[in-house]
Amino acid sequence: MRILLTNDDGIFAEGITVLRKALERFGEIYVIAPDRERSAAGHSITVHRPLRVREAGFRSQWVRGWVVDGTPADCVKLGLEALLPEKPDLLISGINLGPNVGTDVLYSGTVSAAIEGIINGVPSVAVSLATHDEPDFTTAVVFVQELLPELARQVLPTGTLLNINIPPGTPRGARVTKLGNIRYVNVIDRRTDPRGRSYFWMAGEPLDLNDNDPDTDVRAVKEGFISITPVQIDLTDYLFMEKLKRWSLSWSREEFPRGKPAGLDLKLKERA
């Protein structure tokens, strides 16, 4: 297999390092990842400055890598469009330090890198170790190794990635799950600097809004199970589409209101 590895923790983070070494015997490994931590970068891309790239200098003959001073999505774009000699068979983003469950996938640089992969037609998997305390990536690596042959045999649906979260310790098993719903409370920590000026630190405590739903990734990880969630990038609400078409607005009748909006004076006025 030709495998592209990336992450949002930085190219020399422990998670991607142990994964890179473990996967060398599976085929050609290419590593393209940020030069530093880019957690919570989401799907941002760099468009207002040039991107700098340098060789990572890995010693293995089976691995080639590049360090990018950009976001995870930048790394995947560069890899697929400029750096890799051929399109990879698989993209793995991770192993991330910390969970990427529920609605947090919308903020996650790890998941966004995998999304960039499937946008470009590359089967993609995001893998996270759901803890920040004394991380041991052994179970996560073993699980990825076990998953690879199945990924080679099966076909992921177009536009769908697998988001995998590994609980700390010895897992009780694995569950196929759906995304949970997480909201953060006490998000903003307001502080004062030595000069008396206010600044804000983004923090917050996660609140599981589906705490009673046994099928979510949040619940699975909390109960000690590996969660495997198929995530698709099509965010369209198809059920509501039909109701929306029946709204009594002019455009629903293939018309459009003409003239000036009621109650609004659109006359341009010279500004002082």
208 is in an annotated binding site: no
Q: In this model, does residue 246 exceed pLDDT 90?
A: no
118 close to 98: Cβ distance less than 8 angstroms = no
108 is in an annotated binding site: no
93 is in an annotated binding site: no
Chain-centre distance for alpha carbon 89: 19
96 is in an annotated binding site: yes
pLDDT tens readout for residues 92-136: 999 999 999 999 999 999 999 999 999 999 999 999 999 999 899
Q: In this model, does residue 34 exceed pLDDT 50?
A: yes
pLDDT tens readout for residues 202-239: 877 777 667 778 899 999 999 999 999 999 999 999 99
Q: By three-state DSSP, how is residue 268 classified?
A: coil
Average pLDDT, the chain: 91
Partners of residue 124 on adjacent β-strands: 91
Q: Whole-structure pTM over 0.75, yes or no?
A: yes
Place of tokens 């989401």: 42
184 close to 104: Cβ distance less than 8 angstroms = no
pLDDT tens readout for residues 121-174: 999 999 999 999 989 999 999 999 999 999 999 999 999 999 999 999 999 999
pLDDT number for residue 272: 46
Lowest-pLDDT range of 52-56, 67-71, 150-154, 264-268? 264-268
Domains of the chain: residue spans and CATH = 2-180+213-238 (3.40.1210.10)
Peptide bond into 95 cis (omega under 30): yes
pLDDT number for residue 267: 56
